[in-house]
Amino acid sequence: MKPLKIFLALLLTASLLCPAYGAELETRYATVIYEKDDLLKEFNNRIRLGSLSYLVRNKSSLTIADEVRNKVDVIMDRVQAVLQMFPNNIKIKIVLLPSDTEVSNMFKLKYAMDVSYIAFYAPRDKTVYISVDSVRLHVFAHELGHVVVDHYFGVPPPAHIHELLAQYVEAHLED
């Protein structure tokens, strides 16, 4: 009986120490969760700030993790400014998935629906799931638009209003 208890204790300890997706990166607004460093690097390469790059000019970026941390936070700041909504205490998860298929599979797992999404926000979990293969600045900002709207209103607006506000973010991100 004693060896079984020791084994279960070790198993429990190992499961608590290892994140489900492999690695995590903390930002001011989010915990970015990813399986391998390659995913974080690809995410960083695909999120090109373009005319918004001035927003990270004075931020230290010695590593890819620093760059991602800075990008996530300045994009969230920009999304809030576009929407003129500044909710308190935004803290979400961003799960980087390798492909569109994995995003669609995650959506099916959560909502029992077949879709062909490259990203989505799950409000119950306060989590953005995003395909690293297809991510780009405006897609990411769109999903963060959903996050801001969700956190701003006590009672979430209807789905079509949520979507309109997220599309507004995409259209006016670089204004």
Tens-digit pLDDT profile for residues 97-110: 999 999 999 999 99
Q: Is 4 among the domain residues? A: no
Across the range 16-29, mean pLDDT stands at 73
Q: What are the DSSP calls for the chain, one per residue?
A: -HHHHHHHHHHHHHHHHS-TTSEEEE-SSEEEEESSHHHHHHHHHH---GGGGGGGTTS---SHHHHHHHHHHHHHHHHHHHHT---S---EEEEEESSHHHHHHHHHHHHS-----SEEEETTTTEEEEETTT--HHHHHHHHHHHHHHHH-SSPPPHHHHHHHHHHHHHHTT-
Q: Is 82 among the domain residues? A: yes
Q: Is 25 among the domain residues? A: yes
Tens-digit pLDDT profile for residues 7-20: 444 444 444 434 45
Tens-digit pLDDT profile for residues 39-53: 999 999 999 998 888
Q: Is 3 among the domain residues? A: no
pLDDT band, very low/low/confident/very high, at 92 (cuts 50, 70, 90): very high
Q: Is 134 among the domain residues? A: yes
- The whole-model pTM stands at 0.85
Q: Is 8 among the domain residues? A: no
**79: containing domain:** 21-172
